[in-house]
Amino acid sequence: MHCQVQSRQCIEDVIRFAAAEKLFLMADEVYQDNVYADGCKFHSFKRVLFEMGLEYSEKVELASFHSTSKCYMGECGFRGGYMEVVNLDPEVKVQLTKLVSVRLCPPVPGQALLDVVVNPPQPDEPSYDTFIKVYIVPLTVSFVHSKK
């Protein structure tokens, strides 16, 4: 499987276009930790949006998606993910809140794994060394295999 990693310039162009046309951006960023190609780097739509200045960061609506099943842990059996929304129209937010409230009971293991993804152990915490071993080794193996 070959995936595309958007350059920063491409993302800026998309953001400019969305701003000019008043489009809602949806950024599928679930593979952000799985970029191995030489010369490729993941760029967060939100970060680029905010680095482009107030002209864009205060008006472009953006939803960014991430998932535990596709992130660096690659835990396909765990269902957990999140959507971060920026500059959402208040009326749309009301409807979105209703929609996500329908499913208020996601699986507990997926929630726990998602917490580790968004808030990994810090160097002064007891589980940090284990986390680094579990995180770095699979990434290194994946990177090496991607070069074959």
In angstroms, the first-to-last Cα distance of the chain is 14
Model pTM?
0.68
Q: Could you read off the pLDDT of 12-61 as tens digits, one per residue?
A: 999 999 999 999 999 887 666 666 677 777 788 899 999 999 999 999 99
The domain spans of the chain are: 8-120
- Give the per-residue pLDDT at 84: 86
Contact 78, 69 (CB under 8 A): yes
**Is residue 25 within 8 Å of residue 63, measured between CB atoms?**
yes
| pLDDT value at residue 40 | 76
Q: Let me know if domain 8-120 sits in CATH 3.60.15.10.
A: no
- Asked if the model's pLDDT at residue 113 lies above 70, the reply is yes
Q: Which residues of 110-140 are buried (b: 16+ CB within 10 A; e: fewer)?
A: beebbebbeeeeeeeeeeeeeeeeebeeeee
Closest C-alpha among 47, 38, 42 to residue 29: 42
More confident residue, 109 or 54: 54
User: With contact defined as beta carbons under 8 Å apart, do 28 and 65 qualify?
Assistant: yes
